[in-house]
């Protein structure tokens, strides 16, 4: 038992430190598959609105569109063909029971810059149940990635994920006193891909993913108007001799500027193998996001007025 705890601690440190540690490259790399994790974006909620049990969401979410302004290797289909030009996404969610049970769906669409920036080349569909219990979040998710403009490889998985969250304005008196206009929110955790249909453990589409380790941080630089964010996502290979050792690291660093419900962000992502040399995917993107939310309480108040 002590050996397992020690190994788990080492893995958690690897997740937390991977936001800032550089990794070696292995020379020029060809294009390869799309991101293997529903893109975690910084929350657009104000810090004082974290107690979601006070107002259940009837429907909420965001629309976003982004351009991959520099993309040497990030492919436009699951079979590693093409290069992404544009990304469009719709996120929808509804609270089924306060903050304890929420359903959401993400619909991600990509275009191929090598055959024109407009025609869509890939559709990634995600459906999930999630919830918040104190400082812990849980999620059950199904994702399917498929080409749109031709026949080809499809990838699908279902996973369970649990994370623990830290929020400086709520958890640290020193932070509230020292940085009254800033906030730091972070979470880390682990997940299990209990169903896996050709969902790979490395960017070169080798192996099959089994476990994932995640860590995320949002640093509010000024009143939730300027936010620096970072995210890491590691996979392990169920076909490897050691299924706990990470086989792939995906990391992202970005800066977001907000005005009311609108956000403009610039970010960089890099996905690379950890246990062998191989393909590395990377790109720079600019992204525009618009958030919306309609609470159940607001709809009830409208009904009463009528």
Average pLDDT over residues 93-116: 93
Identify the band that residue 85 occupies on the pLDDT scale cut at 50, 70 and 90. Answer: very high
Domain spanning 2-305, CATH class: mainly beta
Indicate whether 271 pLDDT > 80.
Answer: yes
Average pLDDT over residues 290-303: 74
Identify the CA nearest to 205 among candidates 246, 237, 251: 237
pTM for this model (two decimals): 0.82
Q: Which helix (H) or strand (E) holds 14?
A: helix 2-17
Handedness of CA 114, 116, 121, 122 (dihedral sign): positive
Q: How far is CA 245 from CA 97, 178, 264, in A?
A: 37, 39, 36
Identify the band that residue 30 occupies on the pLDDT scale cut at 50, 70 and 90. Answer: very low
Indicate whether 191 pLDDT > 60.
Answer: yes
Cα–Cα–Cα angle for 107, 110, 115, nearest 5°? 155
Identify the band that residue 303 occupies on the pLDDT scale cut at 50, 70 and 90. Answer: low
Q: How high is the pLDDT of residue 59?
A: 81
Identify the band that residue 57 occupies on the pLDDT scale cut at 50, 70 and 90. Answer: confident
Identify the band that residue 44 occupies on the pLDDT scale cut at 50, 70 and 90. Answer: low
Indicate whether 38 pLDDT > 70.
Answer: no
> Per-domain residue ranges for the chain?
2-305
Calculate the average pLDDT of the chain.
84
Indicate whether 274 pLDDT > 60.
Answer: yes
**Which residue matches tokens 């969250």?**
165
Q: How high is the pLDDT of residue 305?
A: 61
Average pLDDT over residues 276-290: 95
Q: How far is CA 285 from CA 59, 65, 86, 202, in A?
A: 28, 10, 9, 22
SS3 annotation, 230-258: EEEEEEEECCCCCCCCEEEEEEEEEEEEE
Indicate whether 178 pLDDT > 60.
Answer: yes
% of the chain residues with pLDDT over 90:
70
> From CA 200, how far away is CA 195, in angstroms rounded?
12
**Tally of helices (H runs) and strands (E runs) in the chain:** 4, 12
Residue 45: other Cβ atoms inside 10 A: 13
Q: How high is the pLDDT of residue 26?
A: 38
Average pLDDT over residues 89-116: 93
Indicate whether 17 pLDDT > 90.
Answer: no
Residue 58: other Cβ atoms inside 10 A: 15
């Amino acid at each position: 038992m002590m050996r397992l705890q020690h190994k788990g601690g080492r893995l958690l440190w690897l997740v937390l430190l991977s936001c800032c540690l550089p990794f070696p490259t292995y020379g020029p790399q060809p294009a390869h598959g799309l991101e293997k994790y529903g893109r975690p974006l910084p929350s657009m909620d104000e810090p004082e609105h974290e107690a979601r049990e006070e107002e259940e969401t009837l429907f909420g979410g965001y629309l976003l569109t982004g351009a991959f302004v520099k993309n040497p290797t990030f492919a436009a289909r699951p079979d590693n063909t093409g290069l992404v030009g544009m990304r469009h996404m719709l996120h929808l969610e509804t609270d089924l029971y306060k903050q304890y049970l929420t359903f959401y769906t993400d619909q991600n669409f990509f275009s191929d810059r090598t055959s024109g920036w407009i025609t869509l080349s890939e559709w990634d569909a995600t459906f999930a149940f999630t919830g918040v219990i104190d400082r812990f979040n849980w999620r059950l998710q199904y994702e399917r990635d498929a080409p749109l403009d031709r026949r080809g490889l499809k990838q699908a998985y279902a996973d369970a994920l649990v994370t623990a969250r830290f929020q400086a304005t709520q958890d640290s008196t020193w932070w509230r006193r020292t940085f009254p206009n800033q906030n730091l929110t972070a979470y880390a955790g682990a997940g299990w891909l209990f169903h896996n249909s050709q969902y790979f453990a490395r960017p070169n589409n080798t192996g099959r993913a089994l476990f994932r380790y995640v860590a995320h941080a949002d640093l509010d630089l000024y009143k939730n108007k300027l936010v620096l964010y970072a995210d890491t996502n590691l996979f392990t290979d169920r076909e490897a001799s050691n299924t706990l050792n990470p086989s792939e690291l995906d990391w992202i660093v970005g800066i977001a500027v907000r005005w009311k419900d609108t956000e403009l962000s610039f970010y960089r992502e890099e996905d690379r193998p950890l246990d062998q040399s191989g393909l590395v995917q990377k790109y720079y993107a600019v992204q525009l996001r618009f958030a919306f939310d309609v609470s159940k309480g607001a709809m009830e108040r409208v009904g009463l007025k009528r």
